[in-house]
Structure 1
Amino acid sequence: MAVFVLDKHKRPLMPCSEKRARLLLARGRAVVHKRYPFTIRLKDRVSGETQPLRLGIDPGSKTTGLALMREPDSQQRHMLCLFELVHRGLQIKKALQQRAAFRRRRRSANLRYRAPRFNNRTKPKGWLAPSLQHRVDTVTAWVKRLSRLAPVTAISQELVRFDTQKLENPEISGVEYQQGTLLGYEVREYLLEKWERECAYCGTGDTPLEIEHVVPRSRGGSNRVSNLTLSCHPCNAEKDSQTLTDFFATNKGLKKRLKANGHAADARLDRVQRQLKQPMRDASAVNATRWALFSALKTTDLPVAVSSGGHTKYNRQRLNIPKTHALDAACVGAFEKLHDWTVPTLTIKAMGRGSYQRTRLTKHGFPRGYLMRQKQVHGFQTGDMVRAIVPTGKKAGTYTGRVAVRKRGSFNIQRSAGTVSDISYKYCTLIQRSDGYGYYVTPFTNLTGGAGQAVA
């Protein structure tokens, strides 16, 4: 990964290579400014020449990809850094639901006489649920943070994951949309996400899938996306012009495949019929926040270019680039070539900044335990990034990760490879103070399924 560089007055300069950063630190010309993402500050330089840098953004409901690239011209991109920002929207939703349940119980038990007052509460225009607003705020915060560490000159955002209006009504912009280079990419990506990349009929995964009409064309079925699904080749060939109900009731080959995959025919039929009527939950979350994020990015005073998810997939497959959130961010927009994209990915997980609540509660809202009143223990607090060097014993070794403090001085260290418990504070060295995020680096060789390792 490229190393961020600041001048003497903390203004951003062009990122440099790891080798050059080590030389600058060894010769005493620079000091470490920040560990995550790794940033150095020069002692003897003020300002300098910079090149155009573009920040690509691939918004997601659970994870957002960020890619910082050098862009010498409109057709070439050179990768510098890759990031994956993991959101905590689900945790926020569950916490608010629990709080609402506790309040309802207290009010019904103690304030039964009070008249309801909810009719006078109005939400402002553009209001988003806290779990959705969190995604917008977190992405915007990291865009601003990266803009302070590097001279970003432009932003590319995947504004829409799926162009659902054109999917439902292809003639809305004429036949050019259907006959362009993106033919089929929008539809297929939407169906892959909606049907979880498996055959809708028999549930077979890890096999080539074909687009299939639920209501056959010979029976009046349309090409609308609401009538399309994905199926393996045997199911597609055997269904032919049958209706969905007849296919599940009479086809012996389908029943054999369902039995092999551990599915019941009736339950699978109900699932298909139900899934046809339901929108995608993740796509709904992204669609609900897309314009809010776009408006927030416009406030950075940087030019924001937008593109669709189908165009992103087209670029990725054209360049034979594997699918990750970070590399999707690098493929957003119009360009020809992407260089040096085999760099490690820094995963940034939103963890929150703790809670004022000092009491553990049962599911009914009654206290069951009390937390310590002070935040710091021996100079450490939960969320700090530390390195622990244990010289002897069963847990001998070096561990780097996010610390969870305890009053007795034995801490837990949370790493991407798992949590190491009961590490004494005497073995811990502070790397970076808590900022509400956990960090670990995933090398490119592990992008196909290996676990990343936390590094300093």
Structure 2
Amino acid sequence: MSKVFVIDTEKRPLDPIHSAQARQLLRNGKAAVYRRFPFTIILKKSHSDLSVTPLRLKLDPGAKTTGIILVNDTTGEVIFAAELKHRGFAIRDALTYRRQLRSSRRSRKTRYRKPRFLNRIRPKGWLAPSLQSRVENIKTWVNKLRKIAQIEAISQELVRFDMQLMRNPDIQGKEYQQGTLTGYEIREYLLEKWSRQCAYCDAKDVPLQIEHIHPRAKGGSNSITNLTLSCEKCNTKKEIKDIKEFLKKDKTRLAKILAQTKKTLTDAAAVNTTRFALLEALKATGLTIETGSGGLTKFNRSQQNLEKTHWLDAACVGKSTPKLIIKGVKPLLIIANGHGTRQLCRTDKYGFPNRHCSRAKFHFGFQTGDIVKAVVKTGKKVGEYIGRIATRATGSFNISTKNGLVQGISHKYCSVIHKKDGYSYTQ
């Protein structure tokens, strides 16, 4: 199972320990809880003679979810695993909504004013906010983990599909592309593009073959745009027929396949746009950086017969750690929610103000989004409640628990378990 992080009295990271050992330290009063997510304890007495084993942080950046693991390179033991869900698409939708409101406001009750967006100079390396947020989320978690674990190296999946290797498999310095790994880049790209099913009959969970849409016997090329996936039955049936001849009785599927050949991968485009920005951010840490491709990740995963999940993909990034020990590891599910909004006036769907927000974020030492434990001993709401709070200036808070919303809990009964940090967690 995932280990518990330990820091000493000077807040320096020590070797992670088993959860049973952590419980014993807490029970004996030798340690205290320092952080809930990821769970970290702090020792009450200094231990200067303890040696610390260096760990490797592995990242599998994705458009929607990024896999994160900490692994011991020497033993191959996975110490910590997490899946970080980004909010890039939510940011995009919020910016679109704001732009539409401003555009309508300019022309609704005022003289026409041109939108001012071409008079701003973007710095070198600028990324759209929805893309930059992905980079910032990963940077945040790299810094969080470096404070509680002795990280000395980072592995990043730099490219999902190595287009250069797909065009020229004999590139020098890329020996892994030869032999048993040949074709992994192309196959992984096609599996992603064609949703891991036969293009002609939608068959899933069957062996799929790479098939030429326009047959090579009739002048078709090996270009990635001329390739698709087919089950053995459909591939045999199609033989060297052109796709228009093969699907002449199914015009709908023909149109769908031809449109899919021209379709780009939106998620892959987002990853490709941010990959080098993330690489530069990781280099700024001063740690040793290893990079790998998606094809190599899949090869490593298939060699060890592992499932396809985000955190296991992260574990298989690069050439390091050829053997993994993942028994009992359960990933921490992290969702980026942001820190709310700075709007002081909420609007309805037409853009008209309908309610006011307080300028003060903190009330009685609490902030909306904090995870608290409330123990109520008197009154109608006697009980123990754990969840996120919504604060009020009156001191009467609402707590969102697993069993529903509990309203009207006084701040006097609340104690903070985990301060709001812009993320929600599920173990």
Q: TM-score, normalised by structure 1?
A: 0.83
Find the residue that maps to 1:92 and give its secondary structure: helix
Aligned to 2:57: 55
CA RMSD of aligned residues (A): 2.8
Question: How far did residue 199 of structure 1 move?
Answer: 2.0
Of the structure 1 ranges 132-141 and 182-191, higher mean CA displacement relative to structure 2 is found in 182-191
Question: How far did residue 104 of structure 1 move?
Answer: 1.3
Aligned to 2:400: 413
Cα contact 2:131–2:270 (8 A) shared by 1 = yes
Which residue type is aligned with residue 405 of structure 2? S
Choose from 306, 320, 324 the match for 2:309: 324
Of the structure 1 ranges 332-341 and 136-145, higher mean CA displacement relative to structure 2 is found in 332-341
Aligned to 2:342: 356
CA distance in 2, matches of 1:269, 1:407: 62
Cα contact 1:386–1:431 (8 A) shared by 2 = yes
Find the residue that maps to 1:120 and give its secondary structure: coil
Matched, 1:278 2:263: yes
- Unpaired segments of 5 or more residues in structure 1? 251-264, 442-456
Cα distance per residue 1:390-423 (max 9 Å; x no partner): 99xxx999875444557895735266xxx72345
Cα contact 1:9–1:46 (8 A) shared by 2 = no
CA distance in 2, matches of 1:169, 1:362: 55
**Structure 1's 389 and 341: CA in aligned 2 closer, same or farther, altered over 3 A?**
farther
CA distance in 2, matches of 1:239, 1:400: 61
Pairing 1:3-82 to 2, within 5 Å after superposition = 3-47=4-48, 48-72=50-74, 76-82=75-81
Choose from 269, 285, 289 the match for 2:274: 289
CA distance in 1, matches of 2:274, 2:333: 22
Matched, 1:430 2:394: no
Cα contact 1:160–1:287 (8 A) shared by 2 = yes
Aligned to 2:202: 203
CA distance in 1, matches of 2:260, 2:339: 38
Of the structure 1 ranges 166-175 and 266-275, higher mean CA displacement relative to structure 2 is found in 166-175
CA distance in 1, matches of 2:284, 2:190: 34
Of the structure 1 ranges 145-154 and 335-344, higher mean CA displacement relative to structure 2 is found in 335-344
Cα contact 1:358–1:370 (8 A) shared by 2 = yes
Question: How far did residue 271 of structure 1 move?
Answer: 2.2
Aligned to 2:147: 148
**Structure 1's 306 and 404: CA in aligned 2 closer, same or farther, altered over 3 A?**
same
Aligned to 1:336: 322
- Unpaired segments of 5 or more residues in structure 2? none
Question: How far did residue 362 of structure 1 move?
Answer: 3.0
Pairing 1:7-406 to 2, within 5 Å after superposition = 7-47=8-48, 48-72=50-74, 76-110=75-109, 112=111, 114=113, 117-170=116-169, 179-250=178-249, 265-334=250-319, 335-371=321-357, 375=361, 380-387=366-373, 400-404=386-390
**Structure 1's 223 and 107: CA in aligned 2 closer, same or farther, altered over 3 A?**
same
Find the residue that maps to 1:54 and give its secondary structure: strand
Cα contact 1:170–1:177 (8 A) shared by 2 = no
Identical residues among aligned pairs (%)? 50
CA distance in 1, matches of 2:173, 2:81: 37
Cα contact 2:387–2:399 (8 A) shared by 1 = no
Which residue type is aligned with residue 28 of structure 1? G
**Structure 1's 193 and 414: CA in aligned 2 closer, same or farther, altered over 3 A?**
farther
Cα distance per residue 1:267-306 (max 9 Å; x no partner): 3322211111122111110000110000000010100011
Q: TM-score, normalised by structure 2?
A: 0.89
Find the residue that maps to 2:180 and give its secondary structure: coil
CA distance in 2, matches of 1:209, 1:429: 56
